[in-house]
Amino acid sequence: MNFTFVTLFPNLIYPYFEDSILSRAKENGLIQIDCINPRDFSVDKHKKVDDYKVGGGAGLLMSAQPLFDTLEHINSKEAYFVFPTPAGKSFTQNDAKRLSKKKHIVFVCGRYEGVDERVIEIYADEVFSVGDFVLTGGELPSLCMCDAISRMIDNVLGNEESLLEESFENTLLEAPSFTKPNVYNDSPVPSDFLKGNHAIISRLKNRMAYAKTCFHRPDLYKMVKNKRNYHAK
């Protein structure tokens, strides 16, 4: 899978792929990362990429020309253009799974007060928010999405089975997990985990996943309950 980041700050992107799982994925040819800087496409003699908003308003926008020319330059039939923006719908695990089937994703990272809306209207295949807060640029949201998508690609994770029990599979959060020692600072691992009975452990994990979801994410809990009631009818 190819990932292209359209960004004024490629140095924010490349180091993320220099360590750990995604560095291995890159070395093994499972993902390819490249950056294109719209500044290189600016026809302005000072290589300007921003401008004031038409009609007034605070701050600057990434202007249309450098971005249009950058995206035009990408010119790949397989390119799927994703724009991070606080105005988008929330990016979810299902989106990560779905997008992991694409061949080439292009993240268009906004800066300043965002990008000229015409670029989004013409190029965006999807727009996503990574949460109800405003960051200084689209690089972090794009890296978040790229990371979540990459780990859904076959063979990127060592143990693909771990995906099956993860949070948001079947809408639930993952059950609490423990490691050794069995008692730490007077705090024990739930005793059923220690008995080696996989059916009991699995039931316990399921109950704990429900309890954790109910506590931390009542919105998801409600969805699971509604689904179950629907299927019970």
User: Contact between 120 and ligand SAM (CB under 6 A)?
Assistant: no
Residue 189: C-alpha distances to residues 70, 163, 209, 213 (Å):
54, 23, 16, 20
- CB nearer to ligand SAM: pick between 10 and 86: 86
Residues binding ligand SAM: number (CB under 6 A) = 20
Q: How do beta strands 183-184 and 187-188 pair?
A: antiparallel
Work out which of 24, 26, 137, 153 binds ligand SAM, going by CB under 6 A. 137
Contact 174, 206 (CB under 8 A): no
85 contributes a contact to ligand SAM by CB under 6 A: yes
First to last CA, the chain: 42
Nearer CB in complex with ligand SAM: 64/204: 64
Q: Please pick, from the candidates 134, 163, 194, 200, the single residue that binds ligand SAM as defined by CB under 6 A.
A: 134
- Among 122, 135, 163, 194, the residue binding ligand SAM under the rule CB under 6 A is 135
Q: What's the CA angle centered on 61, arms 59 and 66, to 5 degrees?
A: 150
The one among 136, 159, 179, 187 contacting ligand SAM by CB under 6 A: 136
Give the ranges where the chain is alpha helix by DSSP (H).
Answer: 20-27, 64-74, 93-99, 117-123, 139-150, 198-216, 218-232
How far is 59 from 114, CA to CA, in rounded Å? 9
Q: Is 230 in the site for ligand SAM (CB under 6 A)?
A: no
Indicate the residue among 41 and 83 with the shorter CB distance to ligand SAM: 83
Residue 203 CB, nearest approach to ligand SAM (Å): 38
CB neighbours of 25 closer than 8 A, spacing ≥ 6?
A: 31, 150, 153, 156
Task: Tell whether residue 113 is a contact of ligand SAM (CB under 6 A).
Answer: yes
**Which residue number has the CB closest to ligand SAM?**
110
Interface ranges with ligand SAM (CB under 6 A)? 84-87, 109-111, 113-115, 129-131, 133-138, 141
